[in-house]
């Protein structure tokens, strides 16, 4: 039989993304007119020349929104189309429809939005000084940092800065919309969160959510960029369809996508860290200035993840962290793989580096000494149960023969005057669950058809991470059928309602649990029927690999026969499953409790070779020891680790998301925005899984894998820093990512990088 798994379809080029979808003959194409300065007040919109271009052209503004012109749900600060002010360079101001895409884009360019300039702020610290905040600061205090610092033998303070990051999903944002019989809206969206799109469309069109159907088939990548920010495109397409009465497709070109949509949040952070004479960290303090951009979006949830990962993989008894969400006139920064945790990990590792230098201690010795141990609790009181931070670190050190490895690097550096090497270790401890408690829920709908084939629908969106393969495996194992009998259906708000976005690395955890609950209901009905058919007690009955077993031995009864008999007997072969993560007790008001279902552990070492003449570098190797629990699919998990590492390396070394002094995004094409590619990746990549463990919080003892390994990229930053120091021991330390060659060159030249 031809392989019909989503991965096989994709490989054969048979999958359809938004822009591949065939559309009805009367479908209009949409384009948006973007703002061309950072902030201004709209005084008039002149659409005359756009309308003169072609009879099919329609120009749609905020005034055409029939419902509520607002898609910001936690803070109402995101009009679908602006009514009087625009707030960043690249903001969609007007929607334009036309018979063809090129006409729509031409017409959009001809729309003239007249405005008066308004003062703008781009820097997070400047915004903080002006008290321009999205919401009040988030603070967690544990222990007594002042007293602890007073008792520290060593204490250092410093600053760490990290830049933004463009998602560069291969498929840009887009949606297809039509208004169906009875004025119901139907939308196909490239989104990680169909329910969010459904809610935005319903609100903008003034419809109940029950009159809006949103479907997401698959994404050509999301990486967080389509968690919240697909809603605007879905709602605009729906608005176009509503106003024109015709189907509408809106698919952004790369430049519009890069200008208009959010990216990873840049952070600027002040830290202070202190330890006793032996290097036991006693206190850590950090003030994070998050550049939130122009609207709230997911910024508070992201900041929550930052303040909950402030001490990385380390036990620190006294902690005080404060996170400011600073409102600036830049695109609204949003979810990006890691979701505020990479920013926190970078700061604690910078602090540890600074402390190690002040103490004249090896960084890795300081890291090792302070790792979380079994029985510890984090600074919010979450117990470290089945902790594996030390196990991962020690296995990595053993694998590398770390002492000899470091000695080899030192020998290389002593014998090479034009090249230097550096290597650094990065341990992770990454919390799995949405930081917003209410989001930790999922539903699934499972049908077994008369012929024994199985269909699973959940809220999980396939965006390349192979969640559909994992779900098929979970359903097959729970029901006891071969995986080939299971198909995983696209996500639709009709089949599963109130879904949370596929995000926080929980896609397979939450939806897998919901699917297995649904499958277990059907299995229980079937085993009862089988027991009756075979005349065996129920306890002896099982189903494995498509055969009913009795006392563990295959019986004469096969799956297909059992299904046919159950159907004849009028047994319900469908079930809905619902899962809500238990045990999440964290209260942000007190900063105490368990925010996560569990942690993912691991450790990575990256080795860098720096060319002192050119200030360029090669990544020699990455060695990773990772905790995938009892992996559902090692090939998939390995792919996720490699991909996450690539994005982590891009963030720390390469991707230079820069805005001009006027707030304009400077690199807004893929020819100017530099990304990691094959040639950039480490020459050798050695990924080892820690031995399987049990994990009751995910299906079949698996663990989430999507985001945690991104943090490993941070090892490369410190490896490169070491290589620079090997060449220039007195080089100033400026903790700042991305560590692009220009910055390396400045340090090697004895200048301060800017």
Binding site for ligand HPA (CB under 6 A): 227, 298, 301, 305, 335, 339, 434-436, 439, 503-504
Question: What distance in Å separates the CA atoms of residue 603 and residue 621, rounded to the nearest whole number?
Answer: 14
Binding partner of residue 298 among ligand HPA, ligand MTE, ligand MOS, none, CB under 5 to 8 Å per kind?
ligand HPA
Binding partner of residue 452 among ligand MOS, ligand HPA, ligand MTE, none, CB under 5 to 8 Å per kind?
none
Question: What distance in Å separates the CA atoms of residue 605 and residue 421, rounded to the nearest whole number?
Answer: 13
Helices 507-534, 559-568: crossing angle, 10 deg rounding:
80
Residue closer to ligand HPA (CB basis): 378 or 607:
378
Q: Does 320 bind ligand MOS (CB under 6 A)?
A: no
Binding partner of residue 643 among ligand MOS, ligand HPA, ligand MTE, none, CB under 5 to 8 Å per kind?
ligand MTE
CB of 85 to ligand MTE, least distance (A): 31
Question: What distance in Å separates the CA atoms of residue 702 and residue 467, rounded to the nearest whole number?
Answer: 13
Do 296 and 257 meet the contact criterion of CB atoms below 8 Å apart?
no
Q: Does 259 bind ligand MOS (CB under 6 A)?
A: no
Q: Does 265 bind ligand MOS (CB under 6 A)?
A: no
Binding partner of residue 391 among ligand MOS, ligand HPA, ligand MTE, none, CB under 5 to 8 Å per kind?
none
Binding partner of residue 507 among ligand MOS, ligand MTE, ligand HPA, none, CB under 5 to 8 Å per kind?
ligand MTE
Residues between 679 and 738 that touch ligand MOS (CB under 6 A): 707
Residue closer to ligand HPA (CB basis): 167 or 246:
167
Closest residue to bound ligand HPA by CB = 504
Figure out which of the listed residues 233, 242, 267, 339 binds ligand MOS, where binding follows CB under 6 A: 339
Give me the DSSP letters along 170-235. Answer: SS--EEEEEEEGGGEEEEEE--S-HHHHHHHHHHHHT--GGGEEEEE---S--TTTTTSTTHHHHH
CB of 433 to ligand MTE, least distance (A): 11
CB 482: neighbour CB atoms within 10 A?
12
Figure out which of the listed residues 71, 80, 94, 335 binds ligand MOS, where binding follows CB under 6 A: 335
Residue closer to ligand MTE (CB basis): 322 or 465:
465
Residue closer to ligand MTE (CB basis): 27 or 504:
504
Give me the DSSP letters along 423-488. Answer: EEEEEEEEEES-SSGGG-EEEEEEEE-TTS-EEEEES---SSS-HHHHHHHHHHHHHT--GGGEEE
CB of 135 to ligand MTE, least distance (A): 23
Overall size of the chain counted in residues? 754
Considering only the C-alpha atoms of the chain, give the largest distance between any 2 of them, rounded to a whole number of Å. Answer: 85
Residue closer to ligand MOS (CB basis): 158 or 708:
708
Do 253 and 668 meet the contact criterion of CB atoms below 8 Å apart?
no
CA quadruple 44, 48, 51, 54: dihedral sign: negative
Do 29 and 97 meet the contact criterion of CB atoms below 8 Å apart?
yes
Secondary structure class of 268 (helix, strand, coil): strand
Pairing between strand 419-432 and 318-327? Answer: unpaired
Pairing between strand 491-492 and 541-544? Answer: unpaired
Residue closer to ligand HPA (CB basis): 158 or 300:
300
Q: Does 337 bind ligand MOS (CB under 6 A)?
A: yes
Binding partner of residue 435 among ligand MTE, ligand HPA, ligand MOS, none, CB under 5 to 8 Å per kind?
ligand HPA
Do 449 and 495 meet the contact criterion of CB atoms below 8 Å apart?
no
Residue closer to ligand MTE (CB basis): 264 or 320:
264
Cα 694 to Cα 155, 179, 377: the distances in Å are 39, 48, 20
Whether residue 707 lies in the annotated active site: yes
Binding partner of residue 465 among ligand HPA, ligand MOS, ligand MTE, none, CB under 5 to 8 Å per kind?
ligand MTE
Binding partner of residue 240 among ligand HPA, ligand MTE, ligand MOS, none, CB under 5 to 8 Å per kind?
none
CB of 504 to ligand MTE, least distance (A): 6
Tokens 């959510």, located at residue: 209
Among 84-92, 315-323, 331-339, 567-575, which window interacts with ligand MOS (CB under 6 A)? Answer: 331-339
Q: 169: left (phi > 0), else alpha (psi -120 to 50), else beta?
A: beta
Do 59 and 107 meet the contact criterion of CB atoms below 8 Å apart?
yes
Pairing between strand 419-432 and 598-611? Answer: antiparallel
* Strand segments (E) across 646-732: 684-689
As to burial, measured by CB atoms within 10 angstroms (0-12 exposed, 13-18 middle, 19+ buried), residue 72 is middle
Do 583 and 525 meet the contact criterion of CB atoms below 8 Å apart?
no
Residue closer to ligand MOS (CB basis): 28 or 335:
335
Residue closer to ligand HPA (CB basis): 122 or 430:
430
Question: What distance in Å separates the CA atoms of residue 346 and residue 737, rounded to the nearest whole number?
Answer: 9
CA angle 101, 104, 105 (to 5 degrees): 90
Among 52-60, 232-240, 334-342, 740-748, which window interacts with ligand MOS (CB under 6 A)? Answer: 334-342
Residue closer to ligand HPA (CB basis): 273 or 439:
439
* Helical (H) or strand (E) element with 41: strand 40-46
Residues between 224 and 243 that touch ligand MOS (CB under 6 A): 224, 227
User: Which of 78, 166, 285, 707 does the annotation list as catalytic?
Assistant: 707
Binding partner of residue 288 among ligand MTE, ligand MOS, ligand HPA, none, CB under 5 to 8 Å per kind?
none
Do 628 and 638 meet the contact criterion of CB atoms below 8 Å apart?
no
Residue closer to ligand HPA (CB basis): 555 or 640:
640
DSSP annotation of 316: -
Question: What distance in Å separates the CA atoms of residue 495 and residue 490, rounded to the nearest whole number?
Answer: 10
- Note the residues at the interface with ligand MTE (CB under 6 A): 221-224, 337, 463-465, 467, 502-508, 640, 643, 706-707
Pairing between strand 28-34 and 248-251? Answer: parallel
CB of 110 to ligand MTE, least distance (A): 35
Q: Does 336 bind ligand MOS (CB under 6 A)?
A: yes
Binding partner of residue 436 among ligand MTE, ligand HPA, ligand MOS, none, CB under 5 to 8 Å per kind?
ligand HPA
CB of 323 to ligand HPA, least distance (A): 14
Do 449 and 573 meet the contact criterion of CB atoms below 8 Å apart?
yes
Binding partner of residue 439 among ligand MTE, ligand HPA, ligand MOS, none, CB under 5 to 8 Å per kind?
ligand HPA
Among 112-120, 314-322, 329-337, 735-743, which window interacts with ligand MOS (CB under 6 A)? Answer: 329-337
CB of 234 to ligand HPA, least distance (A): 18
Closest residue to bound ligand MTE by CB = 507
Among 311-319, 333-341, 611-619, 661-669, which window interacts with ligand MOS (CB under 6 A)? Answer: 333-341
Residue closer to ligand MTE (CB basis): 71 or 503:
503
Binding partner of residue 596 among ligand MOS, ligand MTE, ligand HPA, none, CB under 5 to 8 Å per kind?
none
CB of 704 to ligand MTE, least distance (A): 6
HSE (CB half, 13 Å, CA atoms) of 465? 29
Active site residues: 707
- Chain positions contacting ligand MOS, by CB under 6 A: 192, 222, 224, 227, 335-337, 339, 503-504, 707
């Amino acid at each position: 039989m031809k392989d019909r798994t989503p991965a096989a379809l994709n490989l054969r080029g048979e999958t359809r993304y938004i822009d591949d979808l065939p559309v009805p003959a009367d479908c209009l194409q949409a384009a948006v007119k973007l703002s061309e300065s950072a902030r201004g007040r709209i005084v008039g919109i002149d659409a005359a020349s756009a309308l003169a271009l072609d009879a099919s052209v329609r120009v749609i503004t905020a005034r055409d929104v029939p419902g509520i012109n607002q898609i910001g749900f936690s803070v109402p600060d995101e009009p679908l189309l602006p009514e009087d002010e625009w707030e960043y360079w690249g903001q969609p101001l007007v929607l334009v429809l036309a018979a063809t895409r090129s006409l729509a884009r031409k017409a959009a360019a001809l729309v003239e939005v007249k405005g008066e300039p308004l003062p703008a702020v781009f820097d997070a610290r400047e915004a903080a000084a002006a008290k321009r905040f999205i919401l009040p600061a988030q603070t967690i205090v544990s222990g007594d940092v002042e007293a602890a610092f007073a008792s520290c033998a060593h204490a250092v303070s410093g600053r760490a800065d990290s830049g933004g990051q463009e998602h560069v999903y291969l498929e840009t944002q887009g949606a297809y919309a039509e208004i169906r019989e009875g004025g119901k809206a139907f939308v196909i969206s490239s989104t990680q969160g169909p329910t969010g799109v459904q809610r935005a469309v319903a609100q903008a069109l003034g419809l109940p959510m029950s009159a809006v159907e949103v479907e997401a088939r698959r994404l050509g990548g999301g990486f967080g960029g389509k968690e919240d920010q697909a809603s605007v495109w879905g709602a605009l397409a729906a608005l176009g369809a509503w106003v024109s009465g015709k189907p509408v497709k809106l698919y952004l070109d790369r430049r519009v996508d890069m200008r208009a949509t959010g990216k990873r949040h840049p952070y600027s952070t002040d830290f202070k860290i202190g330890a006793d004479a032996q290097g036991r960290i006693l206190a850590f303090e950090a003030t994070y200035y998050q550049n939130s951009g122009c609207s709230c979006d997911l910024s508070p949830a992201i900041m929550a993840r930052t303040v909950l990962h402030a001490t990385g993989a380390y036990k620190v008894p006294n902690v005080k962290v404060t996170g400011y969400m600073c409102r600036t006139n830049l695109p609204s920064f949003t979810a990006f793989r890691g979701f505020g945790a990479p920013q926190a990990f970078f700061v604690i590792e910078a602090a540890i580096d600074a402390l190690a230098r002040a103490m004249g201690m090896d960084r890795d010795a300081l890291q090792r000494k302070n790792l979380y141990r079994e029985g510890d609790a984090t600074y919010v009181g979450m117990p470290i149960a089945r902790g594996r931070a030390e196990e991962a670190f020690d296995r990595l050190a053993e694998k590398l023969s770390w002492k000899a490895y470091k000695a080899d690097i030192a020998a290389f550096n002593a014998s090479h005057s034009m090249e230097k090497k550096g290597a650094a270790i990065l341990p992770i401890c990454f919390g799995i669950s949405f930081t917003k408690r209410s989001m930790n829920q999922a539903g699934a709908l499972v049908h077994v058809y008369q012929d024994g084939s199985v269909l699973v629908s959940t809220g999980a969106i396939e965006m390349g991470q192979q969640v559909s393969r994992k779900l098929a495996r979970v359903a097959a194992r729970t029901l006891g059928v071969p995986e080939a009998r299971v198909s995983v259906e696209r996500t639709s708000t009709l089949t599963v309602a109130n879904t949370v976005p596929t995000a926080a690395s929980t896609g397979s955890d939450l939806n897998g649990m919901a699917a297995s609950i649904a499958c277990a209901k059907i299995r229980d009905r079937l085993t009862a029927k089988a027991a009756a058919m075979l005349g065996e007690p129920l306890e002896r009955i099982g189903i494995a690999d498509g055969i009913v077993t009795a006392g563990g031995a295959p019986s004469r009864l096969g799956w297909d026969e059992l299904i046919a008999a159950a159907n004849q007997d009028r047994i319900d072969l469908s079930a809905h499953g619902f899962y809500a993560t238990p045990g999440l007790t964290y209260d942000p008001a007190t900063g105490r409790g368990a925010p996560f279902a569990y942690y993912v552990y691991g450790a990575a070492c990256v080795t860098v070779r720096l060319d002192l003449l050119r200030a360029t570098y090669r990544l020699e190797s990455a060695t990773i020891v990772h905790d995938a629990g009892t992996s559902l699919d090692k090939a998939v998990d390995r792919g996720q680790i490699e991909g996450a590492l690539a994005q982590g390396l891009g963030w720390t070394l390469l991707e230079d998301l820069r805005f001009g002094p006027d707030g304009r995004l400077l690199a807004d094409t893929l020819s100017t925005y530099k990304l990691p590619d094959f040639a950039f990746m480490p020459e050798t990549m050695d990924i080892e899984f820690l031995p399987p463990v049990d994990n009751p919080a995910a299906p079949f003892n698996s663990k989430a894998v999507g985001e945690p390994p991104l943090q490993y990229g941070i090892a490369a930053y410190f490896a490169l820093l070491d290589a620079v120091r090997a060449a220039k021991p007195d080089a100033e330390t400026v903790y700042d990512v991305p560590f692009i060659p220009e910055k390396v060159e400045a340090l090697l030249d004895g200048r301060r990088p800017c």
